[in-house]
Structure 1
Amino acid sequence: MSAETTPEQEPAAPRFAFLRSATVVAVGMAVMNVAAYGFTLIGVHRLVPEQFGAITALLGLLLIGNVASLGLQASGARRLATHTGEGAAALADAMLKAGRRAALGLMVVCLLATPLFIWLLHIDSVVAILLLAPTLGGLTLMGSQLGVLQGSQRWTELAAVYTSVGVGRLALGGGALLIHPSLDAAMIGLALGAAVPALLGGFLLRGSAGGTSAQVKEVLRETVHGTHTLLAFFAIANADVLFARALLDGRHSGYYAAGVIVAKACLFLPQFVIVIVFPSLASSPGDTLRLRRAIQAVAGLGVCAVLGALILPDLVVAVIGGKEDYGPLGPYTWLFAIAGSSYAVLQLVVYAAIAQQEKRAALLIWIGLVVLAIGTGIVLGTGIATGMDGVKVLVAMTSTCALLLSAGLAAGLHRQTIDN
């Protein structure tokens, strides 16, 4: 007589599989982020301030250009997750071909923009600027590969590629700085480091074939939409630093910049949840329960981060810059944890909108950015709130904006599901 499975036991296996996948991806992404922070630490100790400022500016350009990689990953993962029947291998090949075309196009744009970057960033090294192109090309290739692995739910291989991003940057970029502390050496190391995940992804996805030109064009068209939506998100998620720099005095804008380190940590902390849940959001766009649970998971991690900042403010300040310089920020680090967690929720809803191909998401985010800019200009620009009060008001306004946008986007997705 065989043992019967009770209803309580049935979900145990799927839950265990989800937790295992989430853990594997979380570890891979944690290694990537810690290694990237390690490269920054090596840079700040090995480079003179002028050169460190230059490498930070170049990393900022890479961050902007990497939005295309994220767009490729999102469109690739969505298309594979929603694909039914035969032809998955050909679809994966089309995504990889689209990644190669996008990488080549971005490299050409970077090379043509070299004089502009030299003038804009006040960097004399032509070599360092030229190395932006191959670095961005490697990251873009990686984005298409991550999309195939994510859409196919090959979580262990996906985590391996994420790990290789951090290892490549730390070992080759940081190693280059240890050997020869210069801007050129740092960029050579970063370019070589960006090739590591692309090579690993190419090895893991070797043998893909059959993608047609029509499929490639479809992937690229969808990538443009996803990239636009993600660009809008990254613009609003980073605008507060610019507002602080422009509208607060030097000392308090510095406090705000240090607090943003906490916010960004809380933004990146639950990214593994988004990576894991995105394919299922794409394949089941009407499953609002799954989206709510994902939001609860991201919000739960945010609550833990906020409580940690409330209980251990001195430790948080010590990590972000030291009590001597940033002591006054201590009692308010939890506010930045709320802001970062709010944007983490917004990021999840943005990816849900991409999964559902909601065309109005980018427009709504841009409108939110304009409203936030006008609001901060009125409150901070006219002196209604200044000093530390200005810091608190600005972080509260960004949190409120993120939560309102999250609610608006989520409600729009719900209405679209009902209409369908």
Structure 2
Amino acid sequence: MNSVTEPRLSFLRSATVVAVGMAIMNVAAYGFTLIGTHRLVPEQFGAITALLGLLLIGNVASLGLQATGARRLATHTDDGSLAHSILLAGRRTAIALMVLCLLATPLIRWLLHIDSVVAVLLLAPTLGGLTLMGAQLGILQGTQRWTALASVYTSLGLARLVLGGGALLVHPSLEWAMAGLALAAVVPPVLGSRYVRKASGGTRALTNSLLRETAHGTHTLLAFFVIANADVLLARSLLDGRHSGYYAAGVIVAKACLFLPQFVIVIVFPSLASSPGDTAKLRRAILAVAGLGVCTVVGTLVLPDLVVTVIGGPEKYSALGPYTWMFAIAGSAYAVLQMVVYAAIAQQEKRAALAIWAGLMVLAVTAALVLAEGMTGVKTLVALTSGCALVLSVALAAGLHRGQRPAGVQETGQALTPSPEA
């Protein structure tokens, strides 16, 4: 076997392992969402979708830790102290995030018009568990332990389906759904701790350094996830309860298209970090993500009735049938934007967050000014989100410079390249 074929086969094996793990996670997680569409009335489903949107936004701390850990381990040698410091940074971040979430409970209830105090309070332990998981995933991703990484992803999706979906089947209410999600968030860090328990020797200085880098990456990811979930919050605020529920159901399609190509990002991120400015590699990754998006859009155009049946049934959401392809385009556009955002993080491009925040303000103001009532408002909002994501993708990709080394990176040795598990 020649030297060119072997790396390609290794990449395909790794990609397959991660893709399968993430596919199980996403399918199982969407299973929970689909149970919600069938067990809850549109108004209640709009509320749980808004809380899930907040979970996605708050989960940027977990993703920031994962990106920082993976980037550091991909560009530095480690005697165990770096991995241990990543875990310490995860614990400190989890505690801070839980306290912040608890303090923000009254504000969240007011903004999202949610009466249940218990449901909102349960956001805190859920985010705490996800944050601990993020630190562990960063270690597994940076050291290319793909099988272990995939198993943690799988455990998250299955736990959400079994515990969260089971709670809805027993008692279809907001409180029970959030209790199931909180219990599900405990499972991945418990499993992940078995894979990283040998790490030791972390120092306060190294932990603080990781937290500073995590703050920059988290800021960029926060901006992305806020804008990627802003449409649900805008729909909740600007549309009536029934049509915001329709929009929430349509977002199931968009989120499926957003998360479907995520395995591409997971696999290529360490190499983007170790070879910043490699525009050819970034271009291939973007084309892979966009290609998967085209497939999903075609699928919704060919089988709109099946899509409606899957997301909630024609009895409740038949009005969405002609427009599911629009949500597929929106989700695919945000998937491309996510790929570019991670490339910016790998390159330590801090201006990316400012561009995304500016795009969010334009989106929010435009939606408030032009959004109409009924299904016209639903169509207008999804079109606005698609356009915003595409414009930002082009702008951010144009700002990434060829061959630029991330600021602050000091190579201490060869990048870690352990033998792949897959």
Measured against the shorter chain, the TM-score band is: 0.7 to 0.9
1:322 aligns with 2:282: no
CA shift at 1:92, angstroms?
Answer: 0.9
| Deviation at residue 412 of structure 1 after TM alignment | 0.7
Q: Secondary structure at the match of 2:266?
A: helix
Partners in 2 of 1:38 and 1:228 — Cα distance? 30
Residue 32 of structure 2 is aligned with which of 27, 39, 52? 39
Deviation track 1:148-206 (CA, whole Å, cap 9, x = no partner) reads 11111111100000011112222333344555666555444333321111011111111
Residues 334 and 88 of structure 1: CA distance in aligned 2, closer, same or farther (over 3 Å): farther
Q: Structure 2 residue aligned with 1:64, among 36, 57, 66? A: 57
Q: Tell me the CA shift for residue 316 of structure 1.
A: 1.9
- Closer, same or farther: CA 42–261 of 1 in aligned 2, 3 Å: closer
- Shift of residue 325, structure 1, vs aligned partner: 4.5
> Structure 1 regions of 5+ residues with no counterpart?
none
Task: Tell me, yes or no, if the aligned pair for 1:103 and 1:137 is still in contact at 8 Å.
Answer: yes
Structure 1 or 2, whichever has the larger Rg, is 1
1:341 to 332, 346, 358: 332
Residue 94 of structure 1 and its aligned partner are, at CA, apart by 0.7
Measure the CA separation in 2 of the matches of 1:23 and 1:273.
10
| 1:96 is aligned to 2:83 | no
Of 180, 203, 223, 2:194 maps to 203
- Corresponding residue number in structure 1 for 2:96: 105
How does 1:382-393 map onto structure 2 within 5 Å? 390-393=377-380
Aligned to 1:414, the other structure's residue is in SS state coil
Question: Structure 1 pair 115/389, CA: closer, same or farther in 2 (3 Å)?
Answer: closer
Q: Alpha-carbon deviation of 1:52? A: 6.2
- Looking at structure 2, the residues matched to 48 and 354 of structure 1 have their Cα atoms a distance apart, in angstroms, of 40
Q: Which of 400, 404, 407 pairs up with 1:417?
A: 404
Selected match of 1:398 from 385, 397, 404? 385
Q: Measured at CA, do residues 249 and 123 of structure 1 come closer, stay the same or move farther in structure 2, by a change above 3 Å?
A: closer
Higher relative contact order (CA closer than 8 Å, sequence separation 6+)? 2
> 1:15 is matched with which residue?
8
Distance 1:56 1:303, change over 3 A: closer
Instruction: Give the counterpart letter for 2:398 in structure 1.
Output: A
Residues 1:68 and 1:48: Cα distance change in structure 2 (over 3 Å): same
1:368 aligns with 2:359: yes
CA RMSD of aligned residues (A): 3.0
Q: 1:134 to 1:302 in 2, by over 3 A?
A: same
Q: Indicate conservation of the 8 Å contact 1:54/1:123, yes or no.
A: no
1:247-396 matches, within 5 Å, as 254-378=245-369, 380-381=370-371, 390-396=377-383
Taking structure 1 as reference, are residues 263 and 169 closer, same or farther at Cα in structure 2, changes over 3 Å only?
Answer: closer
The whole-number CA distance in structure 1 between the counterparts of 2:88 and 2:406 is 35
Letter in 1 for 2:392: L
221-230 or 32-41, which deviates more: 32-41
Paired AA for residue 164 in structure 2: G
Q: Deviations over 1:228-278 (max 9, x none)?
A: 111111121122334445556666555444332222211111011111111
Give secondary structure in 2 for the equivalent of 1:417.
coil
Distance between the aligned counterparts of 1:130 and 1:220, measured in 2?
Answer: 26
TM, length-normalised to structure 2 = 0.85
User: Per-residue deviation at 1:347?
Assistant: 0.4
In structure 2, what is the Cα distance between the partners aligned to 1:56 and 1:392? 18
Identity across the alignment (%): 74
Offset from partner CA, 1:332-372 (integer Å, 9 cap, x none):
32222222111100000001101111010000011112222
Q: For 1:258 and 1:48, how far apart are their aligned partners in 2?
A: 11
Change (3 A) 1:377 1:196: closer
Displacement after TM superposition at 1:226 (Å): 1.2
Deviations 1:98-124 (A, max 9, x none): 001111222233344455556665445
Shift of residue 377, structure 1, vs aligned partner:
4.1
1:157 to 2:148 alignment: yes
Counterpart amino acid of residue 277 in structure 2:
G
Offset at 1:321?
A: 3.2
CA spacing shift, 1:63–1:217, aligned 2, 3 Å: same
Whether the aligned pair in 2 keeps the contact of 1:281 and 1:287 (CA below 8 Å) is yes
1:217 corresponds to which of 194, 208, 219: 208
> Is this contact kept in 2: 1:80–1:88, CA < 8 A?
no
Counterpart AA for 1:412: G
The residue identity in structure 2 corresponding to 1:357 is Q
Where does residue 128 of structure 2 map in the other structure?
137
Assess, with a 3 A threshold, how the Cα gap between structure 1 residues 152 and 257 changes in structure 2: closer, same or farther. same
Change (3 A) 1:232 1:197: same
- Equivalent residues, number: 406
Q: How many angstroms apart in 1 are the aligned matches of 2:125 and 2:71? A: 27
* 24 and 82 in structure 1: CA distance in 2 versus 1, 3 angstrom threshold: same
Shift of 1:391: 4.3
